[in-house]
Each structure stands twice: as structure tokens, then as C-alpha cells.
Structure 1
Amino acid sequence: MDLLDKKLVLTRKLKHSSIQPVDSLPEKILQFGEGNFLRCFTNWMVQQMNDKGVFNGRVAAVQPTPHGRVVPKLERQENLYTTILQGLDNGKEVEEVEVNCSISRSINPYENWQEVLNTAASDELQFIFSNTTEAGLSYSREEYDPSQSPLSFPGKVTACLFHRYQCKGKEEAPGLVVIPCELVEDNGTKLKEIVLTIAEDWRLPVPFKKWVQERNTFCNTLVDRIVPGYPKEHALDWEHRLGYHDELMVTGEPFHLFVIEADQELEDLLPLQQAGLNVKWAKVQPYRTLKVSLLNAPHTMMFAAGFLYGLNTVYEAMKDPLLKDFVSEAMETEIMPYLSFDRDETIQFSEAVIERFQNPYIKHYLTDLGLNAVNKFRARVLPLFQNYYAETGQLPSFMSYALAAMFVYYKPVSVEEGHFTGEREGVAYKVRDTEAAMNAFIHFWESSKKGIYIESVRQILARTALWGEDLTRFPNLAERIHEHIELMLRLGAQPALEELMNKKEVNK
């Protein structure tokens, strides 16, 4: 059986159920982007809603850039592909494999722009989804040619909305719900502002701009699911198991969270919760803070501590009892008590995070988490550090140790253009960060060789350009960092972490 035979089986099953056959479902969604994340997140959600018979709609997927390679593959497979979800759920390993039929058409707009415009003007269309990466959700000035696709994603959205406005009665044209999934704060608001700026550039009618503002809904969102994508190392094994060839099979974790900042009345049009999905119709910012505090901050805290310890991935770190305790206790004692979020939901989210960290199917390399680590520490960990100190008047032990471990991780052995090289047990690794951050640590370690070690710690902690504030305002922080670094260099990362955990155990 090949992938297309699988579609026939699915179609026959639907004909004997109360659910509409897939091929008869209308295109309710125009989607800019057809990459791994959207196919394993929003398209997967559309499939779940259709399986429950609560949405009954499909997706027209648009290639976002001129050099995309996914559309030809989708066309070869009649827009079918396989989703493979693997991970832990309540401590048990789970695996869900499904052929996804949610995409009705895949369109290259640089060859078939009129097809995109026709879809935008359809009576059945209700939504625009997107994930064009953070770089895609940005403004660029370009000329307007109604017969050609704009290059930018916001330009495409502007042109599609204007075509719909013209074709559907102008001011009386029914608007669309625009749900961007780019990992950009206030993504819906930002996209709307760019669309209006482009409309100004193109000198489009004032009533059109008013229609964009009043008849269309741009939703801020937060998306969360780890999607490794095509299982390159295990593709042949999967094809043997599945019994068919699939160029676009996509792997992801079972966990998913979709926060959409809109009235829950939208649930009638997009019944995600009815399909049993983890979707919140709520303000995004509190959930963003929760995610940054309990997922991103622990990632940043563990990367150097775990890597120097001799481990390579998040999974390996969470298999080690000492590292697992370090991460778990940091979350429980230094982060969670000081979050202004519902306690039960905070606990539930933190437990899900620990399970996600323990997923054996996802290789999340600690060195990848260390990319631009100074800015990550500043944005993710320091606000939590400040919260803890404000509430307790004490330095947070785990966060201080994580900062010291980052100092050691940033110890250069050789300096190259765009990065410098560190060394762990004789094996080199690359440190990549901003030029300012790398220069600061190069200078720090050079100064430390001259015997002004503690003064060097104070000097780098005082750099407001690095940290956003002078960290020497926290009494004894320089001494604490100095103590941890000295111990790591003298004894090694494992004994240093053991000493930290033993002290915490004694102080309980």
C-alpha cells in the first residue's frame, strides 16, 4: 500500500460514517507556509477537528518564498503526509501516527498568483494562518503589481485582503480572521500594522484601510510544540513500518499549546477545544511569561551546567539524577513560587515541561541551547532572578550557579571570526554570540590570567550593555560567581554541582 492507497482507505471509512468525505470539504483556511511546524501543528489540529466532524474544512497552503521546495513534494503526494508524534504522557511513552488530509491544495504563488487571489475572494474562506519565521513577519518596501505575488509575507496578505475587498462588495465585504503563528511577540498586532503600512505605500483607498481595521480580526498568538521534522536518520525504518514512501513525514512531540488572543465566540468558527486540543482563548502575555519562565529559562539554566558536566542533550541531562534534581528544584524553589499565575495551571505546565525534557525521541543539543546565551540569560533568567531577590532578599542559588557555569562555558581556547572555541575534556566546541558578548568574555578570561579574578567578575557583571542593568547591585553576587567558577575549574563541573546540591539539601 502506498500513501495514495491510504487516502482511498480513509475515504471509504468516511463514507460509512457521519463525517463528511475529505474531498468534499470546503477550503476555509488560506495558509502562508507549508513547513514542518505548520504541518505538525495547525494542519494537525485541522485534521483532529475534521476527524471529530466539528470543523469540516481544509487548507490551501501557499509557498512563502520563491525558493521553497515543499510544494512539489506535496503535489507528488496529492497533499498527503504522515504525522508521527512520540513522547511521554503521564509517564508513559506514547506514539501516534496519522495520515494528514487537511491540505486540499499547495500553491506556488510566484507561478500561480491568480489562484491565491481567487482563494482569498472565496465565499467559503474564513481564516488566514501563517508561519513564515520571525524574519518573514517584517516590513519591507516593495512595489504593488496586482498580477504578481509580492515577495514579502505581509505584502501577500495585503494584496489578498485588497482583492477580497474589491471582489466582495468593498466596505460590505466579509472580513477574515488572521492567525499568525510566528514566534514574535504581539504577532497579530504587528502583522496588522505592517499591512496598513503597506496599504499606505501602495496608496490603496482609505475605505480599504478602514475595512482592514474594522472587519478583519488579527489575533496575537503563542504556539508551543517541539517539531524535529523529517526523521532523516530513521526514515527508512519508518517507511518499512508504514508500508509506503513519504517525502514529507514529520515528527513532533505529543505536547501542544495554542494560545489565541480572541473572544471565545471564535470557537464556534474554529472549534479547537471541542476537538480536545490544548487551546486557550485568552491573553497571550501571561502564557508567554509562563512558557519563558518554566521552559525557556530552565533550558538556559541547564545548558552550560549540563554540558560542562559531560552531557550533550536535554534528554541525557534529565536522565542524570543530579542534573534532573538541579532543574526540578530550580523550578520548584526559585521560579514557580514567584510567578503571578494560577497555581494549579503552573504546576500542570511545569510537570508537562519535565516530561517534555525527558522525551527520548527528541535530540535537543545543549550547545544549540547555548547559542546567544548571554541575551537568553538576560531575557529569560534575570527577570526571575530579580523576582526571587525582591521577595526573599537572598541570591537564588541555582540561577547563580547557572550564571557561573555560563562563564566557564564561555572560556575561549582559540578565537575565530564570528565565534570562539571552548574545550571540554580535550574536545572543542563553538561559542556563538554577539560580538560584544564574545569580546566581553574574551577580555574577562584574559584579565583573570593576570590575577585580578574577583575584580574581573565585578567588571563584567557591571556591564549594563550585556545584562540590561548593573548586576553588582546584588550584594555578594560577584563573590558567589567567583566561588562557583573557582570550584568548577579546580575540581570539575560534577563535584561543583554535587557540592551545590549537598548544600541545598542541608539547608532544607
Structure 2
Amino acid sequence: MTRLSNATLGQIAAGVRRPAYDRAALRPGIVHLGLGAFARGHLAEYTEDALESRFGAWGITGASLQRPDQRDRLKPQDGLYTLLKLAPTGPELRVIGSVLDVLVAPESPAALVAKLASPETRIVSLTVTEKGYCHDPATGKLRADHPDIVHDLENPDAPRSAIGILVAGLRVRRAEGLDPFTALCCDNLPSNGHVLRGLVRDFAALTDDRLAAWIEANGAFPATMVDRIVPATTEADIAEVAKQTGLDDAAPVIGEPFRQWAIEDVFAAGRPDWHEVGAQMVTEVAPFEFMKLRMLNGAHSSLAYLGYLAGHETVAEASGDPVLARFLQGLWSEIIPTVPAPQGVVLADYAKALLARFQNPAIRHRTWQIAMDGSQKLPQRLLGTIRERLKAGAGIDHLALGVAAWMRYVTGMDEKGGAIDVRDPLAAEFKRRADVAGRNAEALSASLLGIEAIFGSDLPGEQRFTKPVTAHLAALFDKGAKATAASLG
């Protein structure tokens, strides 16, 4: 089958939307670090819409920070790829043209730094996941002892971390008399713009106080809240896109129809007209971010662990299980009192919309995928809510089950005795602790709660937290996930 490219775009099947602007005239203005499926299904589509609304020099140069896979898939396609939106009523297909090139950082760090330092680059955006920021999730501070940070401090011209790359680019811009670019974090971090500013400033200060002061005075780090379910692309998805479009596409992206993007409107050198195509340009992102982090992300993680243990491969299957759907309702009843409603939002209605999105049968968002990197996610998604509930003297039964399900999951063995592929920076440490504790819930709970980077120094000594977590963990070992969730009523 013919491969998707500039030369073959005219051969695509009728009904497939294609770029409505002169792609040959498009010039780059954005560099995106971490060009995974989410970035291509969210930022790149918003940018595509903005280019069609009002054309400008806002093409995207992607950068892979680890492997060449994305470049190798997109380069033969001239950066083009298909976005397949899966609605309950049927699929919608669109070819995205806003991505112009993909660099691979390990192959040439200097080329990437030069791209960031180029005058044409006005925004550097990021989706590198929580662990890509080399920080302590509990404090938001830079980990100066992180291996990648240590490497980048010793090799400032050949950085490999996102933070080191940003600072290297800013260092060159300052030396050449250029203004800084806007650093736009699109990851699920609380106060992500503020956190990124602090990490970049602190890294810079470890090398040059004057550079750190220049970044602090002139840099722009808008906070954002992003939302769209973008499951991992499967071979079946690739085959379906080829069938629907008539062209072979090695890099399609699958997503739900819903999307949301709230952005603090603070940019150093302009931005695309994202506000004209659905993005919410706001003075304060925190209420939207907080709502999403606790209600969507917290529920997603809890459901992922329980759903996987209960044998559900996808979020749709898990949330469609009546027992787990009731668990979600109970979980949201504990979360909602801790969430100030953003202007114009009714939180009960938001919860109903979330359940409908979770239950979309067309989206195969794997529970295993969401369960990754729990050590980085739990502090923000669940533990903050738990601390607030405890302070208020309120119950945490459903929240505690979410934590216990994570503990059961990271043992690396499912309810049928099969191995779980636990993907987490601390996976080896979890296995060591689980091997020592065995199926003794009290021993395992105490051991995992002792990881201060996750639980801090307060929660392990709080019996109102440790007691229900340990009880739920024992039930998960004895009765399984579904029966334990059902016992909550």
C-alpha cells in the first residue's frame, strides 16, 4: 500500500480531512520536547486548527529525547500523520500537517540545542511525563543528584534531560542577545508552569547565577491544563487507519472527540491563535488544573489499578463494570468536597461527563498504560486529596482503596498468579520490598509507606490513613479487587 506523504496526500480517501493551508509555506516556530501520541493528538491538532484559522509561522519541530522511533516513522511521511477520533457514533479521520520535522536528541544534542536557540523558535513545549522533570514530586524541587541532571551539569553542551536541554538553549540565546522562548509545559504536574520555572532556574543557578537571574526576569512559563484521552496506538489501529484512508500510515494517533486546554496567557514572543479554536486563555489555570488532577487523574489511576487487577484490559471495560462504576461514584463523592469549582463548572456534572468519557466503547485506553509510573503520580493524584480529607476529619475509604490497589499492583503478580509488567522508576525497589513481605498485607503496606519520596513523612504515621489502606490491601489479597470494591457499597 502507498505510504502517506506530501506526494500522496491527494490520493487519500474522500471524507478524510486534510490540511487546509499551504503546507509548503509553513515555517517552524515551536519546538516540542517529547513528541508522543498525546502531543500529536492535542497540541498539534490545536495548532493545526489555528493554522487553518489564521496562518502563521507556527510549524512544529518535534524532538525525541530517547529513541529514534518517532522520527523513523514520521520522516518518510514528511511529518504527516492521521488523527483518528473515536466517537461512540463512529470514527472521524483527519491528516495533521503542523509537524514539520523530528530531531532525536541522543543522536545530536547540539542540533537540538541549536534549534532551541534559533531566532525562529518562539515556543518550546513539553510532554515528557512526570518523571521527565528530574524532580522530587513531593516538593517540586530539582533533584541535583538525578543521574541525568548530574550528566547535564558535567556536559552542558550535550544535555539529555528536558531541563538541561531548555537551559542549554536559553544559555545560547542569552549569549547571542536573543530574548528567551516561552517554555510551555503540557504535562500533568500541579502548577506546571511554576514548577518548570523553578526547575529551569535552579538548574541554571548551579552553573551560572547571572543566567538564572536572566531567566527569572525575562522567561515565560505559562501554566496549562490539558485533557484528552489518547490511548496507545495498536497494530489493529494502524490497519484500520490504512483501511479508512487508503494509505499506509506508520504513525497514526487515536483519541477521543473531547479535548480541553486551559492556558495562562503569558507568552514571551507571541503564540498561535489557539484561543480562536477552543483553547481557554485564562489568567488563572489552577482551578481547572486542580479539578482535572483530582477528579479525572485521581479516578483514572484508581480505576486503572483496580480494573487491571479485576481483569479489565481497558478503561471502558473497567468503568462499564457496575461494581467499579459504583466505586467511581463513591470516589468522586470523597474528592468533590476538596475541589473548588472553576467558574461555570458544576462538579457533579463534570463527574457525569467523566464517566461517560471513560465508558466510551470506541476508546481502548489500556489500564496497564495508565498504571505506569505510579510513584510519580500518586502524590499529586490521590495523596493530596487524602491529606485534605484527613485534615477535615472526613472519610477516605474509596481513596484508601485506590492506594491499596496500587500497592497490590506493584507486587508484580496479578490475581491469577501471572506476572505484571510494572513500569515505574522504582519498580526494582517495589519488587524487593514485595518479595520480602510476601502476601502479608501489614508488612507490605508498612514497607511501601516507608518510601518517603512517595508518602512523605506524615502519612506513614497517620493511623486514619494506614489502617484503611492496610485493611483494603489484605482484602485485595484475600478476596480480589472486584469483591473488595463491592464491599464499599
In structure 1, which of residues 117, 120, 127 is the aligned counterpart of residue 123 of structure 2? Answer: 127
Contact 1:73 1:247 in 2 (8 A): yes
Distance in 1, matches of 2:231 and 2:255, equals 6
1:291 matched residue in structure 2: 292
Letter in 2 for 1:178: A
- Distance of 1:121 and 1:395 partners within structure 2: 53
Task: Answer whether contact 1:120 1:160 (CA < 8 A) is retained.
Answer: yes
Q: SS of the residue aligned with 2:217?
A: helix
Deviations along 1:278-318, one digit per CA (max 9) or x if unpaired, are: x3534444333322311222234334544454434322122
Given that residues 229 and 365 in structure 2 are in contact (C-alpha distance below 8 angstroms), is that contact kept between their aligned partners in structure 1? Answer: no
| 1:203-260 deviation digits (Å, cap 9, x = unpaired) | 69x4x66554434312233433333344323322321221111222222233333333
Superposed, which structure 2 residues align to 1:274-353 within 5 Å?
A: 274-277=276-279, 279-331=280-332, 333-342=333-342, 344-353=345-354
Unaligned runs of 5+ in 2: 13-18, 135-148
- Return closer, same or farther for 1:471/1:132 CA change in 2, 3 Å cut-off: closer
Contact 1:60 1:103 in 2 (8 A): yes
Q: Which runs of 5+ in 1 are unaligned?
A: 11-16, 411-418, 502-508
- Tell me if 1:104 matches 2:100: yes
Q: Give the corresponding residue for 2:184.
A: 179
Q: 1:117 to 1:240 in 2, by over 3 A?
A: same
Q: Does the residue aligned with 1:219 lie in a helix, a strand or coil?
A: coil
Q: TM-score, normalised by structure 1?
A: 0.72
Closer/same/farther in 2, CA of residues 462 and 260 from structure 1, 3 Å limit = closer
Question: How far apart are residue 52 of structure 1 and its match?
Answer: 1.9
Partner Cα distance (1:201, 1:461) in 2: 33
Question: How far, CA to CA, are the matches of 2:115 and 2:433 in structure 1?
Answer: 55
Q: Which amino acid letter does the alignment assign opposite residue 345 of structure 2? A: D
For 1:77-476, list aligned pairs within 5 A.
Answer: 77-87=77-87, 92-93=88-89, 95-107=91-103, 110=107, 113=110, 117=114, 120-122=117-119, 124-138=120-134, 139=149, 140-143=152-155, 150-167=159-176, 170=177, 173-193=178-198, 195-196=200-201, 206=210, 211-263=214-266, 269-277=271-279, 279-331=280-332, 333-342=333-342, 344-370=345-371, 379-391=380-392, 393=393, 395-402=395-402, 409=408, 420-425=411-416, 427=418, 429=420, 467-468=455-456, 469=458, 473=462
Inter-partner Cα distance in structure 2 for 1:276 and 1:24 = 24
Deviation of 1:400 after TM superposition, in Å, equals: 4.7
Moved more, 458-467 or 310-319: 458-467
Q: What is the SS of the residue equivalent to 1:500? A: coil
Q: 1:283 to 1:426 in 2, by over 3 A?
A: same
Offset of 1:463 from its aligned partner? 6.0
3-state DSSP of counterpart to 1:344: coil
With CA pairs under 8 Å and 6+ residues apart, which has the higher RCO, 1 or 2?
2
Percentage of identical aligned residues: 22
In the alignment, the residues of structure 2 paired with residue 382 and residue 195 of structure 1 have an alpha-carbon distance, to the nearest angstrom, of 26
Residues 433, 448 of structure 2: 8 Å contact kept: no
Describe the shift of the 1:112–1:9 C-alpha distance in structure 2 as closer, same or farther (beyond 3 A).
farther
Pair 175,375 (structure 1): closer, same or farther in 2 beyond 3 Å: closer
Is the Cα contact below 8 Å between 1:143 and 1:202 reproduced in 2? no
Say if 2:315 and 2:359, in contact at 8 Å, map to a contact too. yes
Tell me how many residue pairs correspond in the alignment: 459
TM-score between the two structures when normalised by the length of structure 2: 0.75
CA distance in 1, matches of 2:103, 2:422: 40
Measure the CA separation in 2 of the matches of 1:244 and 1:8. Answer: 10
The structure-2 alpha-carbon separation of the partners of 1:270 and 1:345, relative to structure 1 and needing over 3 Å to count, comes to: farther
Q: Check if 1:500 corresponds to 2:488.
A: yes
Q: For 1:390 and 1:341, how far apart are their aligned partners in 2? A: 20
> 2-side partners of 1:470 and 1:163: how far apart?
44
Give 3-state SS (helix, strand or coil) of 2:153's partner. coil
* Alpha-carbon RMSD: 4.4
Q: CA deviation at 1:125?
A: 4.1
- The CA distance in 2 between the partners of 1:306 and 1:63, in whole Å, is 34
Residue 128 of structure 1, CA deviation: 2.1
For 2:229 and 2:38, the matched residues in 1 are separated by 8
User: Whose radius of gyration is greater, 1 or 2?
Assistant: 1
> Using a 3 Å threshold, how does the CA distance of structure 1 residues 347 and 273 change in structure 2: closer, same or farther?
farther
Listed one character per residue, the Cα deviations across residues 362-390 of structure 1 (whole Å, up to 9, x for unaligned) are 43444555556577556533443444455
The aligned amino acid for 2:58 is: R
Aligned partners of 1:488, 1:155: CA distance in 2, in Å? 42
Q: Give distance in 2, aligned partners of 1:301 and 1:477.
A: 17
Partner Cα distance (1:476, 1:114) in 2: 50
Aligned to 1:422, the other structure's residue is in SS state coil
Paired residues of 2:304 and 2:368 also in contact (CA < 8 A): yes
SS of alignment partner, residue 125 of structure 2: strand
Shift of 1:137: 3.7
Distance 1:480 1:115 in 2: 46
- 1:72-105 CA deviation, whole Å, 9 max, x = no partner? 4433222222122224xxxx44533111111234
- Equivalent-residue separation in structure 2 for 1:378 and 1:189 (angstroms): 17
In the alignment, is the contact (CA less than 8 A) between 1:29 and 1:125 conserved in 2? yes
**Pair 115,221 (structure 1): closer, same or farther in 2 beyond 3 Å:** closer
Contact kept? 2:38, 2:230, Cα under 8 Å: yes
Partner of 1:414: none
